[in-house]
Amino acid sequence: MEYQYPIDLDWTNEEMMEVVSFFNAVESFYEDRVEGTTLLNRYKQFKKIVPGKAEEKQIFKTFEKSSGYDSYKAVKTVQTSNDDQKYFNSSGI
């Protein structure tokens, strides 16, 4: 699938890489599987770059529109699990 990641050109290269890394983990959640701790750690890094809830929602919406992947759902699924060490995918397994 071809799409662009929602990045801000004011971010540093390192920040852009962190954001892309987070979205790669979200992609893994939907396309294959991702370890819960990996997704949550990448989300924490993302939140250091995008601390505001409104901006986060806008970025998530932009990503979902272009990719079809709901970042919020992926993060929430792992956060509400009792075991973030296990692997997750979009079916919750």
Q: Per-residue pLDDT for 93 more than 60?
A: no
Query: What domain range includes position 59?
Result: 13-81
Is residue 58 assigned to a domain? yes
Helix and strand numbers (H, E) in the chain are 4, 2
Is residue 3 assigned to a domain? no
Count: domains in the chain:
1
Q: Would you call 40 helix, strand, or coil by DSSP?
A: helix
CATH number of residue 35's parent domain: 1.10.220.80
**Selected residue with higher pLDDT from 82 and 58:** 58
**Tens-digit pLDDT profile for residues 30-52:** 999 999 999 999 999 999 999 99
Q: What's the rounded Cα separation, in Å, for the pair 8 and 62?
A: 12
Q: What's the rounded Cα separation, in Å, for the pair 61 and 20?
A: 15
Q: Would you call 87 helix, strand, or coil by DSSP?
A: strand
Is residue 75 assigned to a domain? yes
Is residue 7 assigned to a domain? no
Tell me the whole-structure pTM to 2 decimals.
0.90
- Are the C-beta atoms of 49 and 15 separated by less than 8 Å? yes
